[in-house]
Structure 1
Amino acid sequence: MATQKLYAGAKLRETRTGLGLTQKLFAEKLGVSLPYLNQMENNNRPVSSTVLLALAQEFGFDVTQLSTGEAERLVSDMREALADPVFGETPPPLADLRLAASNAPALARAFLELHRHYRQTHERLASLDEALGREGSSLQPSPWEEVRDFFHYCDNYIDAVDHAAEHIANQIDGELESGARRLLSRKGLAVQYSDSADLRHFNPQSGVLTLSTRAAAPTRRFQLLVQLGLVTQNDLLEATLDLARFQTDEARAIAKLGLANYFAGAVLLPYRAFQAAAAETRHDLERLADRFGASIEQVAHRLSTLQRPGAKGIPFFFVRVDQAGTITKRHSATRLQFARYGGACPLWNVHQAFETPGRFLRQLAETPDGVRYLCLARDVSKSGGSWGAPTRRYAIGLGCEVRHAPALVYGDGLDLSQGFEPIGISCRICERSACHQRSVPPLERKLSVDPGLRGVLPYEVDTG
């Protein structure tokens, strides 16, 4: 398989301007001609290995920051948006989308924002009976989607919050619950436990935090750390929210809780200690969960966030789905991007996890772009904690490119040269023409329908 060329003009230009260098001086330090640098910055040429080496040697630059992670996310999101029938049957070629994502990422994000507004307007008109009589109602982006996109384009790694959490973890020094209670007590707050249906309840008047004894121990510890983050890191969280510039108070409130959750996970699983343990155990989720007193889901989620500049872990994707196949959490440091709307590919093993509770499922999978992955899936059902309380059923998926499989215990015994199952992202944009699980036709391809022929699908997809 040919190596993918690295086009990172916008990032290269951003690096140069951040250093305060002219194109001529920057070209001299990189050992290339001025026209060559200009071509790279305009994505007319890929970034060469010579330039990558010079960036590292001359400026101590982490060259992994030039990776096309954000550009690939934008391309994936634009392809899905352009699959909307409103754009017709001939969307722009993939090369044009990649050019826009690399050269004009702000324009690409503006396009996605415009499409999101369009979708919300369309959905509002479709349920006009709910909108009638609302004087002064104005179109607002979905707070949930706005926050989701914030974490999505941050690689689900918030550097300042992560470092603050690691500092707190070092202060606590392994005594997680007692240490967190001690830090809260310094703020005049007390912690108590109660047989309550609410996982966590904080009364600011009395200064009492109540945690539910019905919750599993990892969940109680996590909720304790969430409150610790809200109390001790409020200024940092607010400053981060200011930089994000959310459009609504609701989005800001959701994001603040998301940042507090991020802080809690980073204290429970501090970056460097967790990264070292992950390498030592070869990313054995059960051993890591036992070592850090965390849940399988918390460990899997944390693995997908190890993207600290200069100290990155294996790039993982992480996803959680419900029984209907709806994606409820999604993070990816890999080239695999999940559908923004709807569910996950039905051929993916994450859906089978509900059938085999308590077991890890392994799958070798290949996406339409030819990238191959080692995928894990497991159910993570959550009991309500009492008789009659509903059980919340989810499944999680975790995976990485197959080239990293030797570093995972889950790669042992697998033939990594064959047996890869074809999976996609979303049926609307999937290029596979003969998928037996296809729910809707691909909008980027023409269809032919023969009334006298019925194959696996009631139509044929033009592969030309």
Structure 2
Amino acid sequence: MSPAKLYVGAKLREIRTRLGLTQKDFAAKLAVSLPYLNQMENNNRPVSTAVVLGLAQEFGVDVTELRAGDAERLVSDMREALADPVFVDATPPLADLRLAASNAPALARAFLDLHRAYRQTHERLASLDEALGQDRRAAPSPWEEVRDFFHYCDNYIDAVDRAAERFAGQATGDLASHTETVLAAMGITLRLEAGQGVRAYDPATRVLTLSPRAAPETQRFQLLHQYALLGQAQLIEATLDLARFQSDTSREIARIGMANYFAGAVLMPYTRFASAARETRHDLERLSIQFGASIEQVAHRLSTLQRPGAKGIPFFFARVDQAGTVTKRHSATRLQFARFGGACPLWNVHQAFETPTRFLRQLAETPDGMRYVIIARDVSKSGGAWGTPTRRFAISLGCEVKHAADLVYADGLDLDRDSAFQPIGISCRICDRAQCHQRAVPPLERHLVVDPNRRGTLPYEIGR
């Protein structure tokens, strides 16, 4: 079988622009003609093996950058947006979406921004107590804007990650004690005191208060989070400047996200953590003990191992609450998560609440034919005292089945039996499966056959 042709014109233009080269200079360095480069950048011709080698040898480009991950994510996001009932009579074919994502990614993102603005305006007008007397200008939700920023960065921020790794390398003993010493040198006083939440910092008195009821790994994480906000402020601000968020609220949310990212990267430094992940075959419990982090923190960190030239297994990671709402999500795989409407109920993460402290394993296949090994676990968090509410969450971590040999949780699973893979989807509106006993609404891209004289699992049949 001949290898698939690589059409990545937008990525090629992005690399050239990043290097600050004209088409003529870029073509000369790659030893190709100017017309040939122009054709590749416009997806009229595939990128040749010689060009791929030239990018790696001449410019040190990680060739995995050329994979179509961004395009796949854009296609998935557009399909989901087009599942909105407003588009019910105007859904473009999948081939057109792929063409737009490959050749005009900026236009595709503009469409997603426009649809997001429409949804927010629609929801605002649907609720009078929110709509009356308020600014009706449509703007992207700050939370969604920040989530999309990390999503399209592959959940990896190189400068912040490397700064965290350097900070961790400076610790000669216990990481928490080292951080306390650094903060003390900055004039910060640390107190353990209940009643002020998990963490509270008073800029006026320079007193940092942590809850003694929080788990040790939580205290350590919050200590590092506060150091990031104070000791790494210049780096974080520079990174936020590059992101160009549309509102101050988005920027503040992203600042918290950057501090969280730094804290996690200090607890689990990239090189050492990636090596341990390979050695333990991604055993979350062993990694949790080795690095003094929670199961959720370890799972999230595994999804960030996307450093150019040293990438780990592409994982997807998500956290859901008991209502099925996805509260955290990231995917370095082709599998994406529903933005509008509920997630697929056949996903094993929904069952994790029924089996606290146990890992659930699932072999799953999505409608595009991709197969995954998925693990799910309840990670509910106690309030730390009698009468305080418990925050109930479950996490899901998964990768394509081709990586199963590197995943301890795949041991003993029958990977060769087709029936072992459970069919799952993203959401019902964009899932093409005709036979699904859990379907909530019909798929938008298929016509329905309704026969009042027949009733199966569904009150309709899905046509072709």
Partner of 1:108: 108
Partner of 1:10: 10
SS for the counterpart of 1:443 is coil
Contact 1:326 1:342 in 2 (8 A): no
Q: How does 1:8-157 map to 2 (within 5 A)?
A: 8-23=8-23, 26-27=26-27, 29-30=29-30, 32=32, 34-134=34-134, 137-157=136-156
Deviation for aligned residue 1:417: 1.6
Deviation for aligned residue 1:66: 1.0
Alpha-carbon spacing, 1:216–1:120, altered in 2? closer, same or farther (3 Å):
same
Contact 1:43 1:99 in 2 (8 A): no
CA distance in 2, matches of 1:244, 1:306: 21
Q: Indicate yes or no: 2:434 matched with 1:442.
A: no
Q: Indicate yes or no: 2:297 matched with 1:279.
A: no
SS for the counterpart of 2:165 is helix
Partner of 2:254: 255
Structure-2-length-normalised TM-score: 0.95
Q: Indicate yes or no: 2:440 matched with 1:455.
A: no
Contact 2:118 2:138 in 1 (8 A): no
SS for the counterpart of 2:137 is coil
Alpha-carbon spacing, 1:304–1:49, altered in 2? closer, same or farther (3 Å):
same
CA distance in 1, matches of 2:124, 2:166: 46
Alpha-carbon spacing, 1:10–1:270, altered in 2? closer, same or farther (3 Å):
same
CA distance in 2, matches of 1:53, 1:404: 25
Alpha-carbon spacing, 1:376–1:174, altered in 2? closer, same or farther (3 Å):
farther
Deviation for aligned residue 1:340: 1.7
Deviation for aligned residue 1:285: 0.5
CA distance in 1, matches of 2:117, 2:209: 40
SS for the counterpart of 1:428 is helix
Please list every run of at least 4 consecutive aligned residues from structure 1 whose deviation after the TM superposition is greater than 6 angstroms: none
Contact 2:81 2:340 in 1 (8 A): no
Letter in 1 for 2:256: L
Q: Indicate yes or no: 2:433 matched with 1:417.
A: no
CA distance in 1, matches of 2:147, 2:18: 28
Partner of 1:215: 214
Report % sequence identity. Answer: 73
CA distance in 1, matches of 2:173, 2:366: 41
Contact 1:428 1:443 in 2 (8 A): yes
Alpha-carbon spacing, 1:416–1:36, altered in 2? closer, same or farther (3 Å):
farther
Partner of 1:229: 228
Structure-1-length-normalised TM-score: 0.95
SS for the counterpart of 2:428 is coil
Contact 1:316 1:399 in 2 (8 A): yes
Q: Indicate yes or no: 2:380 matched with 1:381.
A: yes
CA distance in 2, matches of 1:258, 1:18: 25
Deviation for aligned residue 1:35: 4.5
Deviation for aligned residue 1:412: 1.4
CA distance in 1, matches of 2:348, 2:424: 10
Contact 1:314 1:400 in 2 (8 A): yes
CA distance in 1, matches of 2:366, 2:133: 47
Partner of 1:305: 304
Q: Indicate yes or no: 2:427 matched with 1:426.
A: yes
Q: Indicate yes or no: 2:182 matched with 1:176.
A: no
SS for the counterpart of 2:139 is coil
Stretches of structure 2 that go unaligned for 5 or more consecutive residues are none
SS for the counterpart of 2:311 is coil
Stretches of structure 1 that go unaligned for 5 or more consecutive residues are none
Deviation for aligned residue 1:2: 8.8
How many aligned positions are there? Answer: 462
